[in-house]
Amino acid sequence: MDDAAILRTEGLTKTYGKGSGKTVALDNVNLKITRGKLLAVYGPSGSGKTTLLFLLGGLDKPTSGRIYFEGVEVSNMSERRLSKLRRNSFGFVFQNYNLVDELTVLENVMLTMIFEGKPDAERKDRAKELLRRVGITGKERRRPSQLSAGEQQRVAVARSVANRPELVFMDEPTGNLDQENSQQLMRMVADMVQGEGATCVVATHNLEVVNEAPSKVFLKSGRIVSS
């Protein structure tokens, strides 16, 4: 086992549909993600970036191939163990933020900690601290829809690291943001992820993000073209 690799895949393949309607989203992807670094996964639309992230994050099951997280195979894990992994070891940031509008900003950040069963005071303190770090102060009681796009994405970033995950997956985090907000967000992500000691995998179109990432993977038609 490679100690530096927090996550690795072997022949990861994902297909949708059957027969003539079959679509290969990922084709025999072999990948190693180094602990503590930011990995940028880039490529054109439909290249399989989001599919790869969902598979790595345990949100989807591969058609074939294997995924190992810290040496343990996750691709055949039960749903119960996967949910624990998503709760404790993984964090997610989505292009559309995916904040729950029924909940306040503070509650959104507390969400994973609530599912983990952490005490109310602890999760409140942690959520407030994270919101302060992403620059959302005084808006804790607001609904996500009352925030700007940039603010919503910062709340999503705060939520993703709330349970101190080892891996944070970001799917086009700057996709809905202008250049200034994108830069701000990525600086903040770098600080947060580094500060929390997490490894980050970002699927993006944004070449600035790609250029600043210490390691990168280019996907095309579901295959790794360069890394």
Partner 1 sequence: MPAFSLVRFTSRGLGRRPVRTTLTIIGLAALILTYVSVQSLVSTLEINVSGSVSSLGGEIDVWSKGTSFPLFSRVPVSYVNTVQIIPGVDLAAPVALAQMTVDNNQAVIAGVVPSELPRMLTYTMVAGTMITSNQSGILAIGKALATTVGKSSGQTLLLDGHNYSIVGVYQTNAWIDYSLIIPHSVAQELIGWVNQTSMIVVTTKDPRTVDTVIGQIRTLLPTADAFRTSEAPSKISPIFASLEAIGTDITIIVSLSAVLGITNSNLNNLRERMRTFAIFKATGASSSQIIRLVLYESLLIGILGTLLGLGISYVVLNIISIPVAETINVAIILVPSTFIYATLLAISVSLTAAIYPALRISRVRPQEVFRFG
Residues that bind partner 1 (CB under 8 A): 50, 54, 59-60, 79-80, 83-84, 86-88, 92, 94, 96, 98-100, 102-103, 111-112, 114-117, 120, 159, 163
Min separation Cβ 180 and partner 1, Å: 26
Least distance between partner 1 and beta carbon 183 (Å): 25
Closer to partner 1 by CB, 130 or 213: give it: 130
- Residue 126 or 159 having the CB closest to partner 1: 159
Write the DSSP string, 41-67: EE-STTSSHHHHHHHHTTSS--SEEEE
Q: What angle do CA 205, 210, 156 make, to 5 degrees?
A: 70
CB of 111 to partner 1, least distance (A): 5
Q: Is 225 helix (H, G, I), strand (E, B) or coil?
A: strand
CA 138 to CA 168: how far, in whole Å? Answer: 26
Q: How far is the CB of 96 from partner 1 (least distance, A)?
A: 7
Shortest separation between residue 70's beta carbon and partner 1, angstroms = 17
Residue type, 55: L
Q: Which is nearer to partner 1, 159 or 216 (CB)?
A: 159
Produce one character per residue of 117-152: b if its CB has 16 or more CB atoms within 10 Å, e if not.
Answer: ebeeeebbebbbebbebbebeebbeebbeebeebbb
The nearest distance, CB 161 to partner 1, in angstroms, is: 12
Q: Specify the residue, 155 or 213, whose C-beta has the smaller distance to partner 1.
A: 155
Picking from 209, 144, 196, 188, the residue whose alpha carbon sits closest to that of residue 168 is: 196
Nearer to partner 1 by Cβ, of 3 and 102: the residue is 102
Tell me which amino acid residue 212 is: E
Contact criterion met (CB below 8 Å) for 28 and 224: no
Q: What is the DSSP string of 25-44?
A: EEEEEEEEEETT-EEEEE-S
Query: Is the Cβ of residue 196 or residue 216 nearer to partner 1 in the bound state?
Result: 196
